[in-house]
């Protein structure tokens, strides 16, 4: 099992991990460490993969039914762990409770307060980013935004993410700053830099401690699943929890 993590320094009270496709029991086209139950994979294989993931966690993770929205789900003492809730971000202050989001090109964003008391995980598809999922998630933090750490996990890179002018126009309507994240091609479509879009949004909101953004799920086939590249494929997971 090949696991990635946020490079945060002096945050011993917070743990993070992001899975790759390496390891696990799933067969092609979901080889090997597919964690998504909704993609057509053998359920027994996925549950075996999740059991393997759980061996690295203090408790089983909370998952979401992700819908490309800007909805944030709070995991607190009253949270019903028996229900799979709709949403695209999780926030918690509970100790030893991992929260997880799945991706296969969309941008996973893990966030923590500088004191490690509050953590969040965001599924950052372009729709959720445009609708304000980062701002919505930050609204649950009591810590000031300048004291938030954000890690941008593995997502599709800026040379592989082609979008239409409709997506460009939506972000440009928010701010002209976003035009730098789009490159017009000869076919009149744009290459979008989802990492830069998220960085701009975080910076506008006052978040200064931003890391990550060095991977490309579509290009690094041996390491990552990619929906844009393969269509039918598995899902990675990015998780964060308070120790």
What are 42-95's pLDDT values in tens digits?
999 999 999 999 999 999 999 999 999 999 999 999 999 999 999 999 999 999
Query: What integer pLDDT is reported at residue 158 of this predicted model?
Result: 97
Query: What integer pLDDT is reported at residue 140 of this predicted model?
Result: 98
In the predicted model, is pLDDT for residue 1 greater than 90? no
What are 121-167's pLDDT values in tens digits?
999 999 999 999 999 999 999 999 999 999 999 999 999 999 999 99
In the predicted model, is pLDDT for residue 10 greater than 90? no
User: What CA–CA distance (Å, rounded) separates 20 from 34?
Assistant: 9
Question: Which residue pairs, CB below 8 angstroms and at least 24 apart, start in 125-128?
Answer: 125/68, 125/88, 126/163, 126/167, 126/192, 126/194, 126/197, 127/68, 127/69, 128/68, 128/69, 128/70, 128/88, 128/89
Task: Specify the pTM.
Answer: 0.95
In the predicted model, is pLDDT for residue 193 greater than 90? yes
The CATH class of 3-156+206-242 is alpha beta
Dihedral sign, Cα of residue 28, residue 33, residue 39, residue 44? positive
């Amino acid at each position: 099992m090949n696991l990635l993590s946020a490079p945060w320094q002096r945050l011993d009270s917070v743990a993070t991990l992001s899975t790759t496709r390496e390891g696990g029991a799933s067969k092609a086209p979901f080889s090997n460490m597919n964690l998504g139950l909704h993609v057509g994979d053998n359920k027994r294989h996925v549950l075996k993969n999740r059991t393997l993931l759980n061996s690295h966690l203090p408790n089983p993770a909370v998952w979401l039914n992700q819908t490309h929205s800007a909805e944030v789900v709070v995991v607190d003492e009253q949270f019903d762990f028996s229900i799979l809730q709709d949403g695209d971000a999780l926030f918690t202050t509970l100790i030893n409770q991992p929260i997880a989001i799945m991706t296969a090109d969309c941008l996973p964003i893990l966030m923590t307060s500088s004191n490690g008391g509050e953590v969040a995980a965001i599924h950052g598809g372009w729709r959720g980013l445009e609708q304000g999922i980062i701002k919505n998630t930050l609204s649950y933090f009591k810590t000031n935004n300048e004291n938030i750490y954000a890690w941008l996990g593995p997502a599709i890179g800026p040379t592989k993410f082609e979008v239409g002018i409709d997506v460009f126009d939506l972000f440009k309507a928010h701010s002209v700053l976003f035009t730098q994240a789009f490159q017009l091609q000869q076919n009149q479509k744009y290459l979008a830099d989802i990492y830069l879009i998220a960085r701009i949004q975080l910076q506008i909101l006052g978040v200064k401690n931003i890391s990550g953004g060095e991977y490309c799920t579509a290009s690094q086939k041996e390491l990552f699943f990619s929906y844009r590249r393969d269509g039918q494929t598995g899902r990675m997971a990015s998780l964060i929890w308070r120790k």
